[in-house]
């Protein structure tokens, strides 16, 4: 069993596809073990994406992520990190495989609907960033 953090980003909430995204995870056998809707602060977004702080798109990314509410969740299942990444598709929706969330729903490399942790260490940091032990229902 593995856990991963996923976010329906502000563009996904605005497009009314929260259920669509979560449904794809559930259909593949991943379980939601924690879930909340929140509006990220600038500091909160900058801390979450700290690994990208030197990238040219950092300011734009944090502005986008604070532009509206998001839905943050923890998913559990065998090989959850890789499976969620597979369902998401490539960062740039133009390069994402058919049938992935980003190919089907996303507009741009930045407004790409969904986040998913990319490695076990990242997942641990990201889950702890948004949830405490009592909020995890595995």
Tokens of 88: 């998401």
Tokens of 75: 């998913």
Q: Does 32 bind ligand GDP (CB under 6 A)?
A: no
**Phi, psi (deg, nearest 5) at residue 99:** 85, -5
- Residue 56: CB minimum distance to ligand GDP, A: 8
Residue 115 bears catalytic tag:
yes
Q: Among residues 57, 79, 95, 120, which is the contact residue for ligand GDP, using CB under 6 A?
A: 57
Q: Does 3 bind ligand GDP (CB under 6 A)?
A: no
Distance CA(18)–CA(20), nearest Å, equals: 5
Element housing 122 (H / E): helix 120-130
Tokens of 36: 């909340």
Q: Does 109 bind ligand GDP (CB under 6 A)?
A: yes
The residue among 34 and 45 lying less far from ligand GDP, judged by its C-beta, is 45
Residues 72-101 that bind ligand GDP (CB under 6 A): 91
Strands (E) in 44-137, as ranges, are 70-77, 114-116
Please list the active-site residues.
Answer: 115
Q: What residues make contact with ligand GDP under the rule CB under 6 A? A: 57, 60-61, 91, 109-110, 112, 115, 118
């Amino acid at each position: 069993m593995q856990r991963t953090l996923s976010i329906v980003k502000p563009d996904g909430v605005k497009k009314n596809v929260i259920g669509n995204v979560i449904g794809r995870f559930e259909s593949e056998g991943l379980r939601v073990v924690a879930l909340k809707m929140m509006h990220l602060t600038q500091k909160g977004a900058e801390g979450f994406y700290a690994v990208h702080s030197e990238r040219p798109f950092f300011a734009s990314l944090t502005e986008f992520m604070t532009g509206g509410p998001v839905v943050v969740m923890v998913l559990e299942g065998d090989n959850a990190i890789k499976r969620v990444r597979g369902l998401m598709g490539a960062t740039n929706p133009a390069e994402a495989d058919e049938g992935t969330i980003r190919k089907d729903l996303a507009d741009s490399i930045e407004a790409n609907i969904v986040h998913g942790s990319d490695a076990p260490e990242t997942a641990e940091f990201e889950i702890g960033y948004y949830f405490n032990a009592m909020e995890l229902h595995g």
